[in-house]
Amino acid sequence: MTDLELRAADARELGAVLAFWATAAENASRPPDTPAALAALHLRDPDALIVAVDRGRIVGTIIAGWDGWRCHLYRLAVHPERRRAGIGRALIDAAESRIRALGGTRIDAMVLDDNPRAHAIWAARGYRRQDDWSRWIKPL
């Protein structure tokens, strides 16, 4: 963990982030990520995509989205060879710091029901599942 740097992603790193997600992120039950979608996020809110970088290599990511009204966390992922070393925890902490600084008062994360690893880390960081809501979606 000593060389780990947590910071906003640079526009030139977006391709590397997409490649990282292909192997490290939860990719089930969702549309594929595209360069255009990630570029649009970065253009709108360049600080939302936080990367964990170790000696120039991306080893973790999280998106800390803030729309002025609500805060949402997405794309928490840690390199498979670097898990259980506190990187996920550090990413969540960095995301919460950003949202706190922006004035957010509550934060939520999109988590698949059948992803027990994810349940474990969100629970360990103080998040709880909200059972009286479900997500309603409509592809555009």
Ligand X SMILES: CC(C)(COP(=O)(O)OP(=O)(O)OC[C@H]1O[C@@H](n2cnc3c(N)ncnc32)[C@H](O)[C@@H]1OP(=O)(O)O)[C@@H](O)C(=O)NCCC(=O)NCCS
- What residues make contact with ligand X under the rule CB under 6 A? 24-26, 76-78, 83-89, 109, 111, 115, 117-118, 120-121, 124
Nearest-approach distance from CB 16 to ligand X, in angstroms:
16
Residues 47/49/52/56 CA torsion (nearest 10 deg): -80
Radius of gyration of the chain (CA): 15
Q: How far is the CB of 18 from ligand X (least distance, A)?
A: 15
The least distance separating ligand X from the CB of residue 24, rounded to whole angstroms, comes to 6
Q: Are 53 and 59 in contact (CB under 8 A)?
A: yes
Say how far apart CA 121 and CA 81 lie, in whole Å.
17
Q: Kindly tell me which of 27 and 34 has the beta carbon lying closer to ligand X.
A: 27
Whichever of 35 and 86 has its CB closer to ligand X, that residue is 86
